[in-house]
Amino acid sequence: MAHKIKTIAVMTGGGDCPGLNAVIRAVTKAAISKYGIKVWGIEDGYLGLIEKRLHPLSYENVSHILSLGGTILGSNNTSNPFKYPVESRTGGSTGSPQRKVILKDVSDSCVRTLAAKKIDALVCIGGDGTQTCAAGLAKKGLTVIGVPKTIDNDLWGTDVTFGFDTAVTTATEAIDKLRTTASSHHRVMVVEVMGRYAGWIALHSGIAGGGDVILIPEIPYRLEKVCDFVMKRNSWGKSYSIVVVAEGAKEVGGKMVVRETVAYSPEPIRLGGIASKLAGQIEQATKLEARSVTLGYIQRGGTPTPYDRILATSFGFEAMELLVNGIKNRLVVMKNGKLSSVPLSQVAGKTRTVPINSPLIKAARAVNTCFGD
Ligand code: F6P
């Protein structure tokens, strides 16, 4: 098929997740072997583009990486081409130079970097921060196709992102293991999972792992409801309980627990710490022994599940199909079991959270799972 694209670049931005390499492989292999298109790899997400760090990718470079976790290109979740921090020296009133950081728009320089290498299009593999920047670059005239990545599954426009299934599998295996030790010691085990402002990982791993309590950001909880439920289980002879809590969960009228704020990041807020806080509160209120575990980055690591490998391969191939068919500035998505695409401009800045009328929540409630409401 005739097409104008001769050279593309591929990058992975934001927090890493299993399946990134499978997408890089699919894009690169399809580009080289099906269409004779040259491929460049941009290192460390937008940071590499800003710093002009890119290298050619060969067919051989992407062999044997399908099942490899992480990303061979590296990633970064603190750089934004539209708000790049640079130090400037100004003459102070006393005459001594003062240092201050200013946020510069370096997006034109990014576009020039790609043009200098005769790169016709960019495949951006990333979550909402990465895709929001991709939409901005598209407005500058760049041809961009986004591929939806994130363990959080919170990208607007797609029913699923690759990386999510692996994270849920990892979290479920951890819950299974925590159940046996919670049972031996008759404890309340509070397990914190990632997900940012969405409760997808908590809901899915909580249901798969048989969590007795599942707390998600979409359903603010009441501490007394959680404690009453745990006590009730105790009175039924269930001497232990598993509480699966999303890092973004919050009490009714309360706030999310923030671990740190990362200056200049497209997503400056980093959540974390709710499990430890909640375990202390439960122990104090119920007098039952409680422990907390934060699963953290193990949810982002390791080899992708077969489902994620297939999804990532399909997404990567679809990205190339769109490009060679002259379609641009869209995000590849999976909708109702079918591959399609949506405009990048529609995705920018939005989050897909769990609908509170989700059939999964109904099913969980039917098996007596407490959501703390
Ligand atoms: O978006 C993926 C994610 O792992 C979130 O679940 C989590 O809140 C965040 O990234 C952690 O970011 P960082 O790698 O900067 O600590």
Contact 243, 206 (CB under 8 A): no
What is the pTM assigned to this prediction?
A: 0.96
Any bridge partners for residue 271, and if so which? 258
pLDDT score at 95: 66
Domain covering 7-163+304-347 assigned CATH 3.10.20.740 in the classification = no
Q: Which two tokens stand for residue 112?
A: 């020039």
pLDDT of 94 > 80? The answer is no
What is the amino acid identity at position 240? Y
Place of tokens 């959680």: 226
Within the chain, strands assigned E span 7-12, 38-42, 54-57, 84-91, 97-104, 121-126, 143-148, 188-193, 213-215, 241-246, 258-261, 269-271, 290-294, 330-335, 338-343
pLDDT of 187 > 70? The answer is yes
Count helices and strands in the chain by DSSP H and E runs: 12, 15
Closest C-alpha to ligand 1, atom 2: 15
Other beta carbons within 10 Å of 365: 13
Give the nearest ligand 1 atom to 152 CA: 6
Q: Which residues are catalytic?
A: 152
Indicate where the chain has its CATH 3.40.50.450 domain(s). Answer: 7-163+304-347
Q: What is the mean pLDDT of residues 313-323?
A: 98
pLDDT score at 2: 45
Within 6 A (CB) of ligand 1 lie 15, 77, 127, 150-152, 194-196, 247, 270-271, 300
Distance 147 CA to ligand 1 centre (A): 18
Sheet arrangement for strand 290-294: 213-215, 241-246, 188-193, 290-294
Q: Computed over its alpha carbons, how large is the radius of gyration of the chain?
A: 23
Distance 130 CA to ligand 1 centre (A): 13
pLDDT of 92 > 70? The answer is no
pLDDT of 367 > 70? The answer is yes
Distance 282 CA to ligand 1 centre (A): 26
Place of tokens 């800045």: 349
Indicate where the chain has its CATH 3.40.50.460 domain(s). Answer: 165-301
> Which of 75, 162, 216, 270 for a ligand 1 pocket mutation test, highest count of atoms within 8 Å of Cβ?
270
What percentage of residues in the chain have a pLDDT greater than 90? 92
Write down the CATH number for the domain with range 165-301.
Answer: 3.40.50.460
What is the amino acid identity at position 164? F
Closest C-alpha to ligand 1, atom 10: 15
3-state secondary structure of 51: coil
Q: What is the mean pLDDT of residues 219-232?
A: 98
Closest C-alpha to ligand 1, atom 11: 270
Distance 56 CA to ligand 1 centre (A): 29
